[in-house]
């Protein structure tokens, strides 16, 4: 598993509601329990939304244990800073956290997000055959491209997540090797820690959901004034909502940025499908977020995404960097700290066999099995589609009678055979008149 999801088997009722919500068909319900295929999971969290019994949750670390440690360092997603009206500015949240002895890296984050936008603007302005570029900010979208849209991998913007870059900047400035905890709004962001894309190892060590930290802060009810901490940019907070990243990049470009921004998996898949067909000519940049309205709609958030959106819409934003901010960003850009460590590869599905001949034979058998199935994708077999069942059968992980319709056909045929056989008797015990004797 990629690392963002956790299954509570005791709470699973085998209802299979999660099957249809998965965009990559990574879920099976076998023997009444959920099974996730790690090679196909993108940690989008759609299964969490569809599970009424909360059998699937975010796979985060224990917040109570983390906060008990001395010198806790947090790197929070921008979503974290727009969850509560009383702490709706980074410096206010920073003061509240410092009251509990927790260090917050929001100042480094402010520079890191400026740096990511600046680097993206430079790459897009250079143009090239990879236009339009695809944002790297949503890990679920990256994995979706790897699995469902492999031809688009080359269009992914080679800019590291500013959440990772923030920690790198902090370590460079302080020389500290202390472990850093990510405050994440969704299971996809948790994969930054446990299974990052585009780098061998994350600069973050732990992950906890936004809602757990916010609930704890609200319970403490710390009064803040902002006088104890210096002000900082808030433009990076817009990355938590769809379109915010594009606006940030546009503000740093020497020409107009033509971009398309969408949120929600259905819209994301539709847009990527259009791009794959070559229907987005003239577009420079594509910003996709797996969650509705962006990261503020993640399953690990505390507040309503609509209230968070309202708060962001009414906030005053200064898109022009101060001279000292621009100097820092230029210096960091020159160091190349913003680049992805490695190219993002295509994530191929597991082959039916390592032997090409055997794989071809299994594919032929799979197609034959699929042709004989009802093609209604009801999910009763515990698979998201009839084709998924056919594939599981040839892999030795299922049987044709897992399909309720084929099972009924088999039972009906067996019942007819039993009825036919029950009317027959051995010749040795047939009545005299039926043996032709007088």
| Model confidence, pTM | 0.87
User: What's the pLDDT tens digit per position in 71-105?
Assistant: 899 999 999 999 987 777 888 888 888 888 899 99
Return the pLDDT at 413. Answer: 87
| Alpha carbon distance 326, 345 (integer Å) | 33
Return the pLDDT at 120. Answer: 96
Mean pLDDT is lowest, of 138-152, 219-233, 344-358, for 219-233
- pLDDT category of residue 430 using cuts at 50, 70 and 90: low
Percent of the chain with pLDDT over 70: 95
Residues 6+ apart with CB under 8 A from 401: 407, 410
CB atoms near residue 325 (< 10 Å): 15
Place of tokens 């400026």: 114
pLDDT at 274 over 70: yes
pLDDT at 1 over 50: no
Q: Is the model more confident about 298 or about 32?
A: 298
Do 189 and 207 form a contact (C-beta atoms < 8 A)?
yes
- pLDDT category of residue 264 using cuts at 50, 70 and 90: very high
Q: Are strands 27-30 and 103-104 parallel, antiparallel or unpaired?
A: unpaired
Return the pLDDT at 110. Answer: 93
CA 141 to chain CA centroid, nearest Å: 7
pLDDT at 250 over 90: yes
Q: Is the model more confident about 350 or about 305?
A: 305
| Alpha carbon distance 47, 25 (integer Å) | 11
Burial of 314 (0-12, 13-18, 19+ CB in 10 A): exposed
Q: In a 3-state reduction of DSSP, which class is residue 6?
A: strand
Mean pLDDT is lowest, of 137-151, 279-293, 310-324, for 310-324
146 closest CA partner among 202, 197, 201: 197
CB atoms near residue 29 (< 10 Å): 22
Return the pLDDT at 121. Answer: 95
| Alpha carbon distance 140, 41 (integer Å) | 9
Q: Average pLDDT for residues 64-77, to the nearest whole number?
A: 89
Q: Average pLDDT for residues 153-178, to the nearest whole number?
A: 94
**DSSP element (H, E) containing 40:** none
pLDDT at 434 over 70: no
137 closest CA partner among 339, 287, 296: 287
The most confident of the ranges 60-74, 104-118, 339-353 is 104-118
pLDDT at 307 over 80: yes
**Measured in Å, how far apart are the chain's first and last C-alpha atoms?**
78
Q: What angle do CA 321, 324, 326 make, to 5 degrees?
A: 45
Return the pLDDT at 72. Answer: 92
Residues 6+ apart with CB under 8 A from 409: none
**Hey, what are 162's tokens?**
């500013």
Residues 6+ apart with CB under 8 A from 153: 145, 146, 344, 345, 346
């Amino acid at each position: 598993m990629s690392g963002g999801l956790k299954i509570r088997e005791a709470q699973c009722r085998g209802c299979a509601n999660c099957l249809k919500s998965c965009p990559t068909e990574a879920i099976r319900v076998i023997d009444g329990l959920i099974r996730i295929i790690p090679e196909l999971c993108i940690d989008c969290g759609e299964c969490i939304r569809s599970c009424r019994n909360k059998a699937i949750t975010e796979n985060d670390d224990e917040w109570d244990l983390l906060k008990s440690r001395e010198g806790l360092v947090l790197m929070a997603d921008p979503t974290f800073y727009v969850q509560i009206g009383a702490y709706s500015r980074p410096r206010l949240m920073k003061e509240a956290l410092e009251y509990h002895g927790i260090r917050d890296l929001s100042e480094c984050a402010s520079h890191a997000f400026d740096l990511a936008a600046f680097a993206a603007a430079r790459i897009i302005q250079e143009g090239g055959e990879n236009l339009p570029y695809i944002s790297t900010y949503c890990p679920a979208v990256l994995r979706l491209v790897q699995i469902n849209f492999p031809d688009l991998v080359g269009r992914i913007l080679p800019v590291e997540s500013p959440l990772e870059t923030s920690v790198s900047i902090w370590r460079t400035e302080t020389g500290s090797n202390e472990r850093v905890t990510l405050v994440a709004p969704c299971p996809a962001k948790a994969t930054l820690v446990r299974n990052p894309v585009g780098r061998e190892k994350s600069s973050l060590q732990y992950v906890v959901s936004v809602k757990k930290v916010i609930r704890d802060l609200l319970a403490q009810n710390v009064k803040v004034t902002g006088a104890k901490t210096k002000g900082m940019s808030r433009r990076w907070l817009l990355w938590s909502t769809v379109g915010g990243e594009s606006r940030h990049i546009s503000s740093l470009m020497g020409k107009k940025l033509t971009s398309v921004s969408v949120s929600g998996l259905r819209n994301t898949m539709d847009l990527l499908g259009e791009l794959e067909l070559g229907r987005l000519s003239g577009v420079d940049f594509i910003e996709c977020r797996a969650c509705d309205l962006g990261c503020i709609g993640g399953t690990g958030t505390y507040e309503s995404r609509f209230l968070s959106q309202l708060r962001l819409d009414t906030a005053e934003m200064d898109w022009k960097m101060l001279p000292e901010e621009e100097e820092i960003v230029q210096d960091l850009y020159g160091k190349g700290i913003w680049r992805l460590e490695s190219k993002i590869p295509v994530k191929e599905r597991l082959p039916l066999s390592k032997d090409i001949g055997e794989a071809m034979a299994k594919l032929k058998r799979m197609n034959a099995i699929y042709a004989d199935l009802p093609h209604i994708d009801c999910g009763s077999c515990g698979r998201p589609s009839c084709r998924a069942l056919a594939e599981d059968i040839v892999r030795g992980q299922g049987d044709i009678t897992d399909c309720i319709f084929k099972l009924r056909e088999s039972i009906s045929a067996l019942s007819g055979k039993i009825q036919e056989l029950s009317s027959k008797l051995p010749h040795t015990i047939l009545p005299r008149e039926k043996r032709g004797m007088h």
